[in-house]
Amino acid sequence: MAVKESKQRLQCIMGRCFSQLTILCFTYYLSIVAVGCNRQEEKDVKLLTTTGENYLRIRPGVPFKIALFADLHFGENAWTNWGPQQDLNSIKVMSTVLDDETPDFVIYLGDVITANNIPIANASLYWDQATSPTRDRGIPWASVFGNHDDAPFIWPLEWFSAPGIPQLICPATSSPYSGEEECSFRGTQRIELMRNEIERNTLSYSQRGPKDLWPSVSNYVLQLSSSDKPQLPVAFLYFLDSGGGSYPEVISSSQAEWFKYTSQEVNPDSRVPEIIFWHIPSKAYKEVAPRFMIFKPCVGSINKERVSAQEAEMGIMNILSKRPSVKAVFVGHDHGLDWCCPYSKLWLCFARHTGYGGYGNWPRGARILEINEQPFSIKSWIKMEDGHVHSEVILST
């Protein structure tokens, strides 16, 4: 498929000048707007303004389809034969889903890599492999971090065998990343992973998020626009970094405040539906989790483990449940869960374990999300690697 570059890049202002930012953003001819970012304006702006086309705008008469790829865990056991084979299997799952469903957009829902398991300094090499099926098809994407994405490297015990000293494995000299950083096992920080994704991929809509929220990085919002009026939002997609790895598994009160402030700025009357994405389920998921079988109103196919929630609840769920425009939250993390259950007036959903890396042998698949503009609806289902579709649910009308 020909790569149809369709993005607007904005010169965004750091900090909390969201009013100015909103005006600036809506002045541009675009369909997805990055808010609260520090992205630099890039070359493809000219292409967009001259063609007036935007790939990510809802196409007339066709719903906007998103594929969620969760828990890919690339680079796991990279020093064995088993590990690289799992990554190839994961590429097959993603390729099948992308070819069958032909989504307009992909969301990488965290645990893209198993960083504490990657024996090279720059884990972006594995991140890059994980995004390759989407990039190769010219499909734009966004990503959030999971708890495994920037954990410090752990030496596997089996490396300390006969010779006694484990061998350093460095990026190949042909790699685009070689020479940038010294070859060591210090791991790759969230901010480096995100910088590499953004700078090396014109199809990436990911953002580094406001600096005052660092080291929680993937905090940003994207606007999905109407097919006929690019300035008219149809939905806002919020991405939050639920931590893990180098810092606690929480959505902090600062992140909750950021959401509150940003959503009031971009969607003051709560008129436009909002959808939320992060990796580790909040404690609210425990409250709605099915006991054994999945019965209505919950919808799903596997309920094979307990919810392993964030360490603390610091206000985000209270804000989300009081905001009528918030329709659903999507998380990954628990590979043996794929249900959606109602919570207050919104839905709490798990994605589906997509990668062959990570624990669990449940069949792999991807949650699909479909947003229809007229009449407005959000629908979701799960697409399996073997083509089987199940667990369809209407999340908003």
Q: Kindly state the smallest distance separating residue 281's Cβ from Zn ion, in Å.
A: 12
Q: Kindly state the smallest distance separating residue 357's Cβ from Zn ion, in Å.
A: 8
Q: Is 111 in the site for Zn ion (CB under 5 A)?
A: yes
- Would you say 112 or 346 has its CB closer to Zn ion? 112
C-alpha closest to that of 29 among 14, 45, 41: 45
Q: Is 274 in the site for Zn ion (CB under 5 A)?
A: no
Cα gap 369→218, rounded to integer Å: 20
Q: Is 385 in the site for Zn ion (CB under 5 A)?
A: no
Q: Could you tell me the two tokens for 238?
A: 């919020």
The stretch near Zn ion (CB under 5 A) out of 69-77, 213-221, 344-352, 380-388 is 69-77
Strand partners, 300: none
- Would you say 18 or 278 has its CB closer to Zn ion? 278
Cα-trace Rg, the chain: 20
Cα gap 130→90, rounded to integer Å: 8
Burial bucket for residue 214 (CB in 10 Å: 0-12, 13-18, 19+): middle
- Would you say 334 or 370 has its CB closer to Zn ion? 334
**According to CB under 5 A, which one of 22, 358, 364, 383 is a site residue for Zn ion?**
358
Q: Could you tell me the two tokens for 116?
A: 């504490």
Strand partners, 141: 106, 204
Q: Kindly state the smallest distance separating residue 88's Cβ from Zn ion, in Å.
A: 18
The stretch near Zn ion (CB under 5 A) out of 51-59, 182-190, 320-328, 353-361 is 353-361
Q: Kindly state the smallest distance separating residue 156's Cβ from Zn ion, in Å.
A: 19
Q: Kindly state the smallest distance separating residue 56's Cβ from Zn ion, in Å.
A: 27
The stretch near Zn ion (CB under 5 A) out of 71-79, 182-190, 290-298, 316-324 is 71-79
- Would you say 289 or 326 has its CB closer to Zn ion? 289
Note whether 275 and 305 are within 8 A (CB): no
One DSSP character per residue, 341-359 reads EEETTEEEEE--B--SSSS
Cα gap 274→371, rounded to integer Å: 11
Q: Is 71 in the site for Zn ion (CB under 5 A)?
A: yes
Q: Kindly state the smallest distance separating residue 71's Cβ from Zn ion, in Å.
A: 4
- Would you say 18 or 108 has its CB closer to Zn ion? 108
The stretch near Zn ion (CB under 5 A) out of 104-112, 168-176, 188-196, 338-346 is 104-112
Q: How far is CA 272 from CA 105, 223, 268, 275, 286, in A?
A: 19, 10, 9, 10, 28
The stretch near Zn ion (CB under 5 A) out of 59-67, 79-87, 193-201, 351-359 is 351-359
- Would you say 236 or 339 has its CB closer to Zn ion? 339
Q: Which residues contact 344 (CB under 8 A, 6 or more apart)?
A: 321
- Would you say 323 or 333 has its CB closer to Zn ion? 333
Q: How far is CA 320 from the centre of its chain?
A: 19
Site size for Zn ion (CB under 5 A): 3
C-alpha closest to that of 111 among 73, 78, 82: 73
Q: Kindly state the smallest distance separating residue 54's Cβ from Zn ion, in Å.
A: 33
The stretch near Zn ion (CB under 5 A) out of 63-71, 184-192, 200-208, 235-243 is 63-71
Cα torsion at 270, 272, 278, 282 (round to 10°)? 40
Q: Kindly state the smallest distance separating residue 232's Cβ from Zn ion, in Å.
A: 37
Can you tell me which residue has the tokens 């990039």? 135
The set of long-range contacts for 226-229, using a CB threshold of 8 Å and a minimum separation of 24, is 226/57, 226/58, 226/373, 227/57, 227/58, 227/59, 227/60, 227/61, 227/373, 228/60
- Would you say 187 or 244 has its CB closer to Zn ion? 244
Q: Kindly state the smallest distance separating residue 58's Cβ from Zn ion, in Å.
A: 31
Q: Kindly state the smallest distance separating residue 208's Cβ from Zn ion, in Å.
A: 22
Q: Is 334 in the site for Zn ion (CB under 5 A)?
A: no
The stretch near Zn ion (CB under 5 A) out of 106-114, 172-180, 182-190, 317-325 is 106-114
Q: Binding residues for Zn ion, per CB under 5 A?
A: 71, 111, 358
